[in-house]
Structure 1
Amino acid sequence: MDISGVIQLIASSAEAFVALTAVRIAVQKKKAYGWFIALTFTLFVLFNCTRIFSLAVPEELDALVFLAAGASMLWAMLLIRKDP
């Protein structure tokens, strides 16, 4: 694995940590936006892993995963904005 692959693995590890932290926010603080942030970063990890490990995933599915991640984060931001 080249240096860019190692960097992407480190970035994916950070994204996984963010996802776990967001689940903790959702469960302990009972904040719905935590679930959407967790979903976003889980999808980012999935997206990155398909690229790092050169998995045979159709481009359309990759694009759909990326779109779902963006939509999930947008929804999370709207919920955060509404949160008192």
Structure 2
Amino acid sequence: MDLANSIQIIAILIECAVVVIAVLIATRNNRAYGWLIAITFALFALFDGIRIFFPYGFPRLYSLVLFVACASMLYAVWLMYNETRKSD
């Protein structure tokens, strides 16, 4: 395993840690954006995993997973923005 693959696997583990923390935000703090962040980073981990194990296939799946992850994060950030505006 080369350095690039090792870094990719470490990145996947970090993405999984972000998922766990985001679920805690969603469940303990009752914040909907926590679920969206969890979905986003779970999809990022899936995206990276697919790219490692299937490097020559599924380009449409890559695009779909990346698009849904980005849309989820956009909505999460929008919810956070609205929450900060209400507290001002």
- TM category (shorter chain) comes to over 0.9
Q: Name 2:46's counterpart in structure 1.
A: 46
Displacement of 1:54: 2.3
Could you tell me how far apart the structure 2 residues matched to 1:55 and 1:3 are?
A: 16
**Aligned residue pairs: how many?**
84
Could you tell me how far apart the structure 2 residues matched to 1:35 and 1:10 are?
A: 23
Q: Name 1:62's counterpart in structure 2.
A: 62
Displacement of 1:55: 6.0
Scaled by the length of structure 1, the TM-score of the pair is 0.94
Matches within 5 A, 1:1-84: 1-54=1-54, 57-83=57-83, 84=87
Scaled by the length of structure 2, the TM-score of the pair is 0.90
**CA offsets per residue over residues 36-82 of structure 1, 9 Å max, x none?**
00000000000000111226642111100000000000000000011
Instruction: Indicate conservation of the 8 Å contact 1:50/1:56, yes or no.
Output: no
Q: Percent identity?
A: 44
Could you tell me how far apart the structure 2 residues matched to 1:56 and 1:46 are?
A: 16
Displacement of 1:27: 0.1
Could you tell me how far apart the structure 2 residues matched to 1:57 and 1:31 are?
A: 36
Runs of 4+ aligned residues of structure 1 deviating over 2 Å after TM superposition are: 54-57
